[in-house]
Amino acid sequence: MKASDKNRPLVGRCTDVGKIRSANEDNMGDLPIDQGHVLIVADGMGGYRGGALASHLVVEAIEEYFRDARVETPPKAMRQAICLANERIYLRGQQEEELSRMGSTCVLAMVREGLTYLAHVGDSRIYLLRKGGKLQQLTRDHTVVQHFVDVGLLSPEEADGHPDSHILSRALGPRAHVEPELSEFALRLRPGDRILLCSDGLTKMIRDPDIEKILQKGETPQDAAEDMVQTANDNGGEDNVTVLIYEYHPTTQEEWDALEKEETQEVPVKKPASEPASEPHELEEDFASASTNALPHEEPAGEQHDLDPLPKKKEAPAAPAKEAAPKQESAEKEASTEAKAEESSAKDDAASAPKEDKKEESSEKKAEKTEEPAPSKEDTEK
């Protein structure tokens, strides 16, 4: 590594079709933005053509959004970018029978002035390795099995190797609307911290302690990314594997100052108003169940559940085990109330961020228009 490299962020990227699949349906993107960086990994599904197209549309839409947008509030912008990607996939899927079942996951990290904001849909993941620290999983999979773990119906041990662990509870594309999960906190990065974004082709083939070792060992993010993909393939390469690693180094005096001043490493963020889907997520589950994302997991990463995810809202206790299915509905009702409560503040923001809101408006108007001919369950099972 050149000495000058230590004064700017470093990005490592590696993707591979794996040992079993005939096509790589993963995609990724990294885009430098004003005082920061946007990082994306998307894992497509829905057939040979559809899967690759869906994940490509995710990266294209999000990069396009961040190239054009003047970002005032990162979580709001990230949500809009993901909704734009969802709309693109959904509308394209409506146009062609062969593409009607396509969809994608999405993990999105935005680093700005040393703070990291996260958003995701599906079972691709974001990890953080603090320099000299332990690997932390920062996202929680949107899978049916993870949901059962969250509500106490399954223990992490029972979830380990569960035959339904591939079934997604949220995905981009099958419906006109998607609700991304946004992090509650922005993380203050320190020099040398590494963020890893990856598709499940990595986490199915390498356990977290080994991911940690490779991430620590790689002299550069690119070395680590290549090593991870090679290891996933050596372990069987059952799926497409995609690894995107970002190593943070402060670039401005403000970032150095913030590092000295701030004692806390987590800064609460105001999340944008949720736009709950009009129906529960059953369709996505059906859709994902029938997708090509369904290879058996010989070696799932069981330890992942022992790691601390981002802190969750204290006022949002887990639903009792028996109420697993209705939980999502009640969460959506709650979100609906929040949405109404925050509607006026969202309007207030309109004046300060006209471009962002214009985008949101047009994107959501289109989504509303397309809500009517939403695909039926039958449609997704053709």
Q: Which parts of this chain interact with Ca ion (CB under 5 A)?
A: 43, 199-201, 239
Give the Cβ contact number of residue 63 at 10 Å. Answer: 18
Q: Looking at beta carbons only, is 25 or 63 nearer to Ca ion?
A: 25
Question: Among 130, 132, 129, 107, which residue's Cα sits nearest to residue 118?
Answer: 107
Q: Looking at beta carbons only, is 103 or 272 nearer to Ca ion?
A: 103
- Evaluate whether 200 touches 25 at the Cβ level (below 8 Å): no
- In whole angstroms, the minimum distance from the beta carbon of 286 to Ca ion comes to 18
Q: Looking at beta carbons only, is 175 or 204 nearer to Ca ion?
A: 204
Q: Looking at beta carbons only, is 93 or 201 nearer to Ca ion?
A: 201
- In whole angstroms, the minimum distance from the beta carbon of 201 to Ca ion comes to 5
- In whole angstroms, the minimum distance from the beta carbon of 181 to Ca ion comes to 18
Q: Show the tokens assigned to 212.
A: 């940690």
Q: Looking at beta carbons only, is 63 or 200 nearer to Ca ion?
A: 200
Q: Positive or negative, the Cα torsion across 268, 136, 16, 95?
A: negative
- In whole angstroms, the minimum distance from the beta carbon of 379 to Ca ion comes to 23
Q: Looking at beta carbons only, is 244 or 324 nearer to Ca ion?
A: 244
- In whole angstroms, the minimum distance from the beta carbon of 287 to Ca ion comes to 15
- In whole angstroms, the minimum distance from the beta carbon of 271 to Ca ion comes to 28
* Distance, CA of 121 to CA of 109 (rounded, Å): 12
- In whole angstroms, the minimum distance from the beta carbon of 241 to Ca ion comes to 8
Q: Looking at beta carbons only, is 201 or 250 nearer to Ca ion?
A: 201
* Distance, CA of 83 to CA of 358 (rounded, Å): 14
- In whole angstroms, the minimum distance from the beta carbon of 29 to Ca ion comes to 17
* Distance, CA of 174 to CA of 375 (rounded, Å): 7
* Distance, CA of 36 to CA of 335 (rounded, Å): 30
3-state secondary structure at position 51: helix
Q: Show the tokens assigned to 68.
A: 């054009």
Pairing of strands 26-33, 36-45: antiparallel
List of residues 6+ apart from 257 with CB closer than 8 A: none
- Evaluate whether 49 touches 104 at the Cβ level (below 8 Å): no
CA dihedral 48, 100, 84, 266 (to 10 degrees): -60
Q: Looking at beta carbons only, is 199 or 231 nearer to Ca ion?
A: 199
